[in-house]
Amino acid sequence: MDPVKRKKVTIKSVHDKKKAGQKITSIGVYDAPMAAIADRVGFDFLVVGNAGPMALLGHPDPTTVKFEEQLALTRAVSRVTKYGFVVGHMPYMSYHASKEQAIASATRLVAEGGADCVKCEGNRYTAEYIAEIVRAGIPVMGHIGMQASAAPSRAASA
């Protein structure tokens, strides 16, 4: 696709693509060079997942990724993204303690990190906190099913 004719991907443009039966593309990106390439290729969603801090910063599993690390990588991705919809992953325990914490963490990923929305791993325990993020006006990409960012015992019971 010609970058000159492209527009920034928005929630509305994604809804329009879905309604028209067009494919919606997504890729995990973890740093500025990878994001710049994916953005130029034309992916709709650029997801800054927790695999980035794991691979780049040597974390043994997703539960050890710190919010500030995820924020820094989200910021790097958003700085070079012109068209793609940047999805910032909410790390383990960054939205689990309270509704206030959930909103504050999501707000930081959007306001400081430049994310267009946040991605949360949802289950019956986190649903009310994720709903508060949405009520606060922050778009959420939900992730249900296998929960890689959950502690092993919690993931098995969700």
Instruction: Decide if 116 contacts 145 (C-beta within 8 A).
Output: no
Cα separation, 100 vs 82, whole angstroms: 31
Strands 140-143 and 26-28: what pairing?
Answer: unpaired
Mean pLDDT of 31-59: 94
Q: Which superfamily does CATH assign the domain made up of 3-157 to?
A: Phosphoenolpyruvate-binding domains (3.20.20.60)
What is the token pair recorded at 157? 């019971």
Give me the residue spans of the domains in the chain: 3-157
Residues forming a β-bridge with 47: 28, 87
The string of pLDDT tens digits covering residues 108-150 is: 999 999 999 999 988 888 899 999 999 999 999 987 665 555 5
Write down the residue that tokens 């930081």 correspond to. 108
* pLDDT band at residue 5 under the 50/70/90 scheme: confident
pLDDT reported for residue 145:
60
Name the nearest CA neighbour of 134 among 156, 111, 107, 97: 107
What is the model's pTM?
Answer: 0.87
Cα separation, 155 vs 87, whole angstroms: 22
The string of pLDDT tens digits covering residues 57-75 is: 988 888 899 999 999 999 9
Mean pLDDT of 42-62: 91
